Amino acid sequence: MRNNTAAASSKTNGGNGCPPRITAATQIRVDEPILYDDDNSDENDNRKQREIEFAKHTLPILHWESLVLAAKALGLDSLPSEVTKELAEDDDFLRALYHVLMNVHLINGMLTCSETGREFPVTDGIVNMMLEEMDAKHRISTARQPPGRMLESVPRENSSVNANNSCGTISNDDA
């Protein structure tokens, strides 16, 4: 799921980029889905319902075509090429979708940006999306900034980390 919700945003695609493609999968892990007792206890019903609701609410934000391609790259051919209204309401389909989203993991491999072709290695389940220094400087210098706001790659002496912002963004004392 993490792969499907990450997307390149640029001026050329209007900020609606596609998620990176899985171009190499040298190791994947598929966790077993939770098996429920046949007794239909309230606890089992609640778990099933949470899975269904999660999948139902996640479905609108998924880039479906990319999810299908990613699943195929990981050896899963069970997803339909498109989601119909009937499927979006089918509990069995939604539980299967939940399984694909939450229990299938790329451990080692490569993600490739659909727009730029830049490759991002995946090692031990962690994607390295750090840009090289020259790429980062280029992105910062070409980024469209709101008027009166300056983004710097290296803080100046009169810049400080904004204590009110947990992200640790740079705020300019001069502004």
Query: Does the model's pTM come out above 0.75?
Result: no
pLDDT digits (tens, 9 = 90+) for 3-17: 555 555 544 544 556
* Joined tokens for residue 163: 């204590």
- Locate the domains of the chain by residue range: 2-127, 133-172
Q: Which of 88, 79, 93 is nearest to 56 (CA)?
A: 88
Could you tell me the pLDDT band of residue 157, with boundaries at 50, 70 and 90?
A: very low
pLDDT digits (tens, 9 = 90+) for 61-98: 998 998 999 999 988 888 999 999 999 999 999 999 99
The correct CATH number of 2-127 out of 3.40.50.300, 1.10.357.10, 2.60.40.10, 2.20.25.10 is: 2.20.25.10
Q: Given a cut of 50, is residue 159 above it in pLDDT? A: no
CA distance 104 to 94: 15
